[in-house]
Amino acid sequence: MSLLIRSIIAFIILLVFTACNDKPEPETKLQIDPAMVRNEAIPVLLQTDERTMNVKHQVRGTDVFIECIVTNFSFKSGKRKKVDGEGHVDLYVNGQKVNEVSTAAFILKGLPEGKHVIRLELVHNDSSKYGLYHEFEVNIS
Per-residue confidence (pLDDT) for residue 95, from 0 to 100:
94
The rounded distance, in Å, linking the Cα atoms of 102 and 120 is 12
Q: Say which residue, 3 or 17, is predicted with more confidence.
A: 3
What is the mean pLDDT of the segment spanning 120-124? 95
Q: Say which residue, 104 or 6, is predicted with more confidence.
A: 104
- Rounded to 5 degrees, φ, ψ at 124 are -70, 175
The rounded distance, in Å, linking the Cα atoms of 122 and 86 is 10
Fold of 53-140: Immunoglobulin-like (2.60.40)
Model confidence over 40-78: pLDDT tens digits? 665 656 555 688 999 999 999 999 999 999 998 998 887
Per-residue confidence (pLDDT) for residue 55, from 0 to 100:
94
Question: Lowest-pLDDT range, 49-53, 105-109, 136-140?
Answer: 49-53
Model confidence over 12-35: pLDDT tens digits? 776 666 665 566 665 555 444 454
Per-residue confidence (pLDDT) for residue 61, from 0 to 100:
93
Per-residue confidence (pLDDT) for residue 4, from 0 to 100:
77
Residue 57 identity: H
Per-residue confidence (pLDDT) for residue 42, from 0 to 100:
57
Per-residue confidence (pLDDT) for residue 30, from 0 to 100:
45
DSSP class per residue in 53-95? EEEEEEEETTEEEEEEEETT-EE--SS----TTEEEEEEEETT
The rounded distance, in Å, linking the Cα atoms of 53 and 96 is 21
Per-residue confidence (pLDDT) for residue 56, from 0 to 100:
94
